[in-house]
Amino acid sequence: MTAFMALAAAILRGFIRDRTSVFFAIVFPLMFLVLFGAIFTDTGASKIDLVQVGDVALVDDLPAGAKQAWDDTFDVTRETDLDAAIAEVRKGDADVAIEQRGDTLIAHYTETDQVRAAMTQGALDAFVNGANIAATGQPPTYELQVVRVEDESLKVIDFVTPGLLGWAIAMSAAFGAATTLQGWRQSKLLRRLQLSPVPTRTIVGARIVATLLIAFVQTAIFLGLGTVAFGLTLSGAWWMAVPLVACGTLCFMALGLFAGAIAKTTEGAVNVANFLVLPMAFLSGSFFPLDGAPQWLQVISKAMPLRHLNDAMLDVMVRGESPSTAIVPMLILLAFAAALTLIAARLFRWDTV
């Protein structure tokens, strides 16, 4: 136990003294959290920039309630020259320009941003349909009521943080294991440890404990900063993120051991780990959701361990799912860890070949 504690403490001291490791394990991922937090804090649905050309009776004659909804949906500027209004839309200074000819409302829009264009057309269509119903004097037969399934207090940063945390855990564990293995091998420390009276399992256990402690510190910093600085809201089962982080750390530590086993230099190990982790982060929803991705890409994404880590943390930290929903992802992560460890052990060499 004394040797185990001494090795774990030495590994942690080495990590803290290595500014590059600290930067890429903690500071670099936090930069993304701060960036995303600054972008998405207190952001609501932005209004549609609309240019009204001349008099538009449909808008001017809206009843009080509908007029309030119109003002909440559109940021309206007035223009007398249709060509000038269309030029604003074409340059991107406005989303749509409207004019009325007789009973026809004509909307001039741009397809540069197709999502924005669809929102604009849908909003205008809703107001035109409402005006038609009001003109006939007949009340609508059906009514739409929308109810949000998540807590109304949730913000975009609540959905972004779990993915960024998953990426930070994956990068720190994988890069740390890969560089440590190669660094010890090249400095001949690995061979000296083999010849020392300390059992191999003690060395491995100390490295695992040190990596887990670093991951837990990352998690605490992420959640603390997100809560204090950006109003991060956590669900009741958020504590389940702790065993999830532990399983994810073991999985990506095994990935780092694999990278260190097949590479011949420290730089090569870093490159292999980067080649494996960075594309996985993009394909696992760490930076943006994959809901609109093609089906074949969804299949590939679900074959990656980081996707299961991200989804599970999102479930327990944000969506309010029960703690039991994290059990299957944890088993998947541990299965990846076992498989990668076996492969790395098969390829492992005590000395640089």
CATH value at residue 58: 3.40.190.10
Co-location of 116 and 6 in the same domain: no
Are 59 and 37 in the same domain?
A: no
**Quick check: 64 pLDDT over 70?**
yes
pLDDT of residue 41: 59
pLDDT confidence bin for 159, thresholds 50/70/90: confident
Q: Binning pLDDT at 50, 70 and 90, where does residue 212 land?
A: very high
Q: Is residue 115 part of a domain?
A: yes
Does the pLDDT at position 352 exceed 70?
no
71 plus 37 within the same structural domain? no
Q: Which domain holds residue 83?
A: 48-136
Is the same domain home to 18 and 131? no
- pLDDT (mean) for 313-326: 90
How much is the average pLDDT of 139-164?
64
pLDDT of residue 147: 46
The answer, yes or no, to whether residue 146 has pLDDT greater than 50, is: no
Q: Are residues 33 and 52 in the same domain?
A: no
* Domains in the chain, number: 2
* pTM listed for this prediction: 0.69
pLDDT of residue 248 exceeding 90: yes
148 in any annotated domain: no
Does 352 reside within a domain?
no
Average pLDDT value for residue range 6-24: 77
Burial zone of 149 (CB within 10 Å; 0-12 exposed, 13-18 middle, 19+ buried): exposed
Which of the four pLDDT bands, split at 50, 70 and 90, describes residue 154?
A: low
Distance CA(306)–CA(301), nearest Å, equals 9
